[in-house]
Amino acid sequence: MTHAEKFIQLTLILPNIYIDRENFAKRLNHKRPTSVDNWLSANNPNSTNRAKIAEIFGLKADIWIEKFSSNQEFKRRVESGEFNIITKEMTIQSKIENIIIDSSTDITKEERNMLQKDNLEEDIDLNSKLEGKSAPFIFEFAKKLKSENRAKEALEVLEILEKEPSSFKYSYYNQIEHLKAILLSHESIQEWQKAIDILKRLYSSAKYHLEEPEIITLIASNYKRKALHSQNGEFLAKESVDLDLISQSLALYKEAYNLKDSQAKYYDAINYAYLYRIATAIEEDLENSVEISNLYNDLSKVWRVDTHNWWEMSSKAEFLMLLGKVDEAIFDIENFLEMEKIEKFELNATLRQLKLYIHFTADKDAIKFYESLKIAYDNIF
């Protein structure tokens, strides 16, 4: 089935959501129903619209890449709820695990003191270091290595933990798998598909994403990386980008945005905005400029920006840049850097994001913003 055929079937299967072409166009933030008419005439919707269509119908964007042998099979599987987005409002039959990854595990006071005082040396014999230690300590040790950006060693620690004859690894299965996926996603490892497989299992089987919507963000991020990068981490040419993965990533960023608490929404919002712009540049589509401004206005109603936090201030500045207010963005960041201390990796992460965005869009405002940050980087470090 083509994307257009799937859209046509969705209008028939879910008429109470579709209603009519004018109503659906309005929900897409389109002034006229021209795009809807095109899809009803068998022209495929582009990646940004596929993400929004899935969101409006309350379905996972997986529906666009799944293969169906007939309209009947498509109808049956949609009606079965297989592709439904699971939200907090739905009745969940299975027990939701309340312990999330950032909560402390039950280690002894002695072990906790040992962990806090441990200044990790460069080369660690992990097996000797962890010999005789409890399973909770080993898990906390992996989290400490992860916090210090030592992903490969943290992953080795999880492998040691999995060999432990302890019930801990079963009680904390979701949290261990979540951490493993984070580590597999790290730039030094880049096992994106393995991470996606773990995260999708957590999403579909354990409803774990309702307690930890961050896993949805991680799936979105890994789809984005797979779509825009080669296996060795280089940026792809526009014609090599997998637009179905882009569509899935956009839908998942929006799902995570809708699930998260007010102060955590900004990360998914800025990633959605960047990717939306990249997709419209790749497909040479006339961008729906209302989309990003509406998103930022919605976010601003609940987000109280922490003016001492680099991630929040840089995200706000990046939104300003995307909205054509690059001089204001540069002014805000320059003020921040004069007042606050920043780590090298923090500024590097923002520069990488901008570099990726510029590669696909050649946005002049982004180039100007990037150059100002690069000067700041050279002056500070």
Cβ pair 64, 6 in contact under 8 A: yes
E-strand stretches of the chain: none
Q: Report d(CA 278, CA 285) in Å as an integer.
A: 10
Give 357-380 pLDDT, tens digit per residue. 999 999 999 999 999 999 999 999
pLDDT for the residue numbered 30: 87
Range of the domain at 20: 3-79
235 strand-pairing partners: 229
Is the residue at 299 inside a domain? no
Is residue 381 domain-resident? no
With a cut of 50, say whether residue 96 has pLDDT above it.
no
pLDDT of residue 97: 34
Specify the DSSP class assigned to residue 166.
-
The rounded distance, in Å, linking the Cα atoms of 310 and 352 is 15
Same-domain status, 33 and 107: no
Q: Classify residue 248: in a domain, yes or no.
A: no
- Annotate 233-266 with b (16+ C-beta within 10 A) or e (fewer): eeebeeeebbbbbbbbbbbbbbbbbebbeeeebb
Verify that 140 and 63 share a domain, yes or no.
Answer: no
Same domain, yes or no, for 115 and 183? yes
User: Is 107 contained in some domain?
Assistant: yes
- Rounded Cα distance between 198 and 364, Å, is 38
Each residue of 326-350: pLDDT tens digit?
999 999 999 999 999 999 989 999 9
- Within-domain flag for 168: yes
Asked which of 16, 45, 79 is the last residue of a domain, the reply is 79
> Has residue 38 been placed in a domain?
yes
Number of domains in the chain: 2
165 and 198 co-located in one domain: yes
Residue 161 falls within a domain, yes or no?
yes
Residue that terminates a domain, selected from 141, 176, 206: 206
134 and 45 both lie in a single domain: no
Q: Which backbone phi and psi does 59 adopt, to 5 degrees?
A: -120, 155
Domain identity same for 14 and 51: yes
In sequence order, which residues have a C-beta less than 8 Å from that of residue 99 and are 6 or more positions away? 172, 175
Q: pLDDT tens for residues 179-202?
A: 999 899 888 888 988 988 888 888
Q: What percent of the chain has pLDDT over 90?
A: 57
Phi, psi for residue 308 in degrees, rounded to 5: -105, 0
Is 85 domain-assigned?
no
pLDDT tens digits for range 65-91 = 999 999 999 999 999 988 888 665 443
- Domain endpoint, select from 206, 230, 253: 206
Q: Are residues 202 and 113 in the same domain?
A: yes
